[in-house]
Chain A
């Protein structure tokens, strides 16, 4: 790589730059096609590896053998690592669409409907309260750390202004008996709230429509996402696809 900023681009993609460094690098990206192309490739690689490469968990027999050898209790209290399913992160284009379609069909269970009323009322409340965002920013290096200190999760908070979905900021909300991190996007006159909780395994991925609001829910890693908006289903699908596939994890 000829540009001497290449290692900085890598550090940016890995989230190793502070806000100041990230801002400087973003400025550099505007004028350097080589680094922009590098950034895009690094992000593609990142999401493909996280989504599609094999993760070899220890099998229960091995765990039992280790426990026996060390005289530890026989009971496994180990929480399963939440393996990101490969069909969420990596696949691109038609493959992703095909997989996503089968995924939605396969995982759509009634429990997603149970949270729908709460999510919709939280969405409506956010529009009426004039408290849409607690932290107004389109910079994920600002929004993400802000969440980290307030919710016990730190979801990816990427701006997709280029694709028509500008990140307006973040908010903490209390929905369905749980504190949620909320990402707020604007699409023309429409507002999208993306609620994010730690996945407790109870809620299921799927789609729903309630009182004219569309909801799309999915899981990634140990997070559970639910996007809600009054905009067309296809457009909401576009945004959720971006968040799933293009987020800087």
Chain B
């Protein structure tokens, strides 16, 4: 394998799960998420010569995001596709005993639905912050938005969850 491929494999491929998770939460449909990831990895590979640095995660996730929005636009224009399976949830593979899943499943579903119904621009910053553990700066890099915007979107996302999921007064 040549050096470029090796570098791509070392720097980019470890973020495949993050790419898929973001695509899945953005598109809210598992089939779409796989298409988005495949397209994004291809684009990332083509653009890889222009990538500098060691942390490819924000860079890759920016590409995933673009692929999602391109696909969503196309879909909107055609209007023939079914609506995304909003709110549908899949239990992650593995996990504890079946009984434990049964107890936790209702709670998981409620939380997943609360996140899935957030407006996209709020949902994505929340996913990047809480699931990918990215800093404001990294999220800003991935979404091409200023840090101040990231902070206010994150605050809006959380205010909505506080209201809809925790059942607290609107912030």
B111 close to A (CB within 8 Å): yes
Q: Which residues of B contact A6 (CB under 8 A)?
A: 155, 171
A81 touches B158 (CB 8 A): no
A58 touches B100 (CB 8 A): no
B72 close to A (CB within 8 Å): no
Closest chain B CB from A135 CB (angstroms): 24
Q: Which residues of B contact A66 (CB under 8 A)?
A: 13, 16, 37-38, 41
Known: A79-B14, A102-B99. A73 touches B131 (CB 8 A): no
In the complex, identify which listed stretch (A23-31, A44-52, A164-172) lies at the interface while the others stay far away. Answer: A44-52
B5 touches A86 (CB 8 A): no
Q: Which residues of B contact A83 (CB under 8 A)?
A: 92, 94
Known: A45-B166, A54-B89, A72-B5. A16 touches B104 (CB 8 A): no
B136 close to A (CB within 8 Å): yes
Q: Which residues of A contact B38 (CB under 8 A)?
A: 62, 65-66, 69
Q: Which residues of B contact A42 (CB under 8 A)?
A: 158
For the complex of A and B, list the 7 residue pairs with the smallest distance between their C-beta atoms, beginning with the closest: A58-B20, A56-B24, A49-B130, A57-B17, A1-B171, A58-B16, A81-B17
Closest chain B CB from A60 CB (angstroms): 10
CA distance A10 to B115 in the complex (A): 18
CA distance A71 to B45 in the complex (A): 11
A10 touches B108 (CB 8 A): no
**How many of chain B's residues have a CB under 8 angstroms from any CB in A?**
59
A239 close to B (CB within 8 Å): no
B90 touches A56 (CB 8 A): yes
B121 close to A (CB within 8 Å): no
Q: Which residues of A contact B19 (CB under 8 A)?
A: 58
Interface residues on A, range: 35 or more
Closest chain B CB from A86 CB (angstroms): 5
Q: Which residues of A contact B25 (CB under 8 A)?
A: 56
A174 close to B (CB within 8 Å): no
Having A41-B168, A62-B20, A71-B1, one finds 15 other A-B pairs with CB under 8 Å, namely A6-B171, A7-B151, A10-B158, A14-B136, A14-B154, A41-B158, A45-B161, A53-B115, A54-B90, A54-B91, A57-B93, A78-B14, A91-B104, A99-B104, A102-B100
Q: Which residues of B contact A71 (CB under 8 A)?
A: 1, 5
A70 touches B45 (CB 8 A): yes
CA distance A166 to B41 in the complex (A): 48
Closest chain B CB from A206 CB (angstroms): 14
- B binding-site residues for A, Cβ under 8 Å: 1, 5, 8-9, 13-14, 16-21, 24-25, 30, 33-34, 37-38, 41-42, 45, 89-97, 99-100, 103-104, 107-108, 111-112, 115, 126, 129-131, 133, 135-136, 151-152, 154-155, 158-159, 161-162, 165-166, 168, 171
B111 touches A57 (CB 8 A): no
A-B pairs with beta carbons under 8 Å apart, 5 shown:
A41-B168, A48-B165, A58-B19, A99-B103, A106-B96
A53 touches B111 (CB 8 A): yes
CA distance A42 to B161 in the complex (A): 10
Checking A46, A50, A85 against B95 with a beta-carbon cut-off of 8 angstroms, the contacting residue is A85
| Most A-side CB within 10 Å, residue of B18, B20, B97, B104 | B104
